[in-house]
Amino acid sequence: MPLANGLLTPEQLRCAEQRYPLDLAFCFECSLVQITETVPPEKLFREYLYFSSFSDTLLHHAEDLVTRLIDSRRLNSDHLVMELASNDGYLLQYYHKQRIPVLGVEPARNIAEVARKCGVPTVSEFFGEDLANAIVGQYGGADVIHANNVLAHVADLNGFVKGIAVLLKPQGIAVVEVPYVKDLIDHVEFDTIYHEHLCYFSLTALTALFKRNGLQVQDVERMPIHGGSLRLFIGWTSSQKSTEAVAELHRQENDWGVDQLAFYADFAKRVQNVKVSLVDLLFHLRRQHKRVAAYGAAAKGTTLLNYFQIGREMIDFVVDRSTHKQGLYTPGTHLPIFAPEKLLELLPDYVLLLTWNFADEILEQQARYREQGGHFIIPIPELRVV
β 292-295/350-353 pair status: parallel
Give pLDDT, residue 239. 67
Task: Tell me the sheet residues that pair with 144.
Answer: 81, 173
Residue 185 has pLDDT above 90, yes or no: yes
Q: Are 257 and 277 part of one and the same domain?
A: no
What is the strand order of the sheet 337-338 is part of? 337-338, 318-319, 292-295, 350-353, 375-378, 384-385
Per-residue confidence band for 211, with pLDDT thresholds at 50, 70 and 90: very high
Residue 276 shares a structural domain with residue 256: no
Same domain? For 137 and 93 the reply is yes
Phi, psi of 356 (to 5 degrees): -65, -20
pLDDT tens digits, 298-337: 999 999 999 999 999 999 999 999 999 999 999 999 999 9
CB proximity list for 234: less than 8 A, separation 6 or greater:
164, 168, 173, 174, 175, 176, 210, 215, 216, 217, 218
Domain end marker among 263, 287, 311: 263
User: How many domains are there within the chain?
Assistant: 2
CA angle 120-122-124, nearest 5°?
155
Average pLDDT value for residue range 148-164:
95
Cβ-in-10-Å burial (0-12, 13-18, 19+) of 137 comes to exposed
Domain boundaries, position 282: 270-385
Check pLDDT > 80 for residue 240.
no
Q: Are residues 90 and 210 in the same domain?
A: yes
Tell whether 41 and 129 lie within a shared domain: yes
Average predicted confidence (pLDDT) for the chain:
94
141 and 246 together in one domain: yes
Is 221 in the same domain as 357?
no
Q: What is the CATH number of the domain that holds 206?
A: 3.40.50.150
Q: Which residues of 43-65 are buried (b: 16+ CB within 10 A; e: fewer)?
A: ebbeebbbbbbbbeebbebbeeb
Say if 84 falls within a structural domain.
yes
Domain end (from 217, 246, 263) = 263
Query: Looking at the domain assignment, is residue 109 inside a domain?
Result: yes
Of all residues in the chain, the percent with pLDDT exceeding 90 is 90
For residues 238 and 297, state if they share a domain: no
CB 206 within 8 A of CB 249: no
The DSSP secondary structure of 178-198, one letter per residue, reads EEBHHHHHHTT-GGG-STT--
CA distance 347 to 293: 9
**Residue 358 placed within a domain:** yes
Same domain, 161 and 93: yes
Domain containing residue 334: CATH number: 3.40.50.720
112 and 131 co-located in one domain = yes
CA 233 to chain centre: 18
Question: Domain for residue 366, yes or no?
Answer: yes
Of 224, 240, 263, the domain-final residue: 263
Enter the DSSP assignment of 67. H
98 and 244 belong to one structural domain: yes
pLDDT one-digit tens code per residue, 56-105? 888 999 999 999 999 999 999 999 999 999 999 999 999 999 999 999 99
User: Residue 169: inside a domain, yes or no?
Assistant: yes
Looking at residue 98, its amino acid is Q
pLDDT for 156: 94
* 16 assigned to some structural domain: no
37, 177: one domain: yes
- Calculate mean pLDDT across residues 43-59: 81
Rounded to 10 degrees, the C-alpha dihedral 96/100/101/104 comes to -50
In a domain, 26, yes or no: no
Report pLDDT for 241: 85
Please provide residue 234's backbone torsions phi and psi, each rounded to the nearest 5 degrees.
-110, 135
DSSP 8-state code for residue 204: H
Q: How many CA atoms lie within 13 A of 283 on its CB side?
A: 8
The one-letter amino acid code at 194 reads Y
The answer to whether residue 22 sits within a structural domain is: no
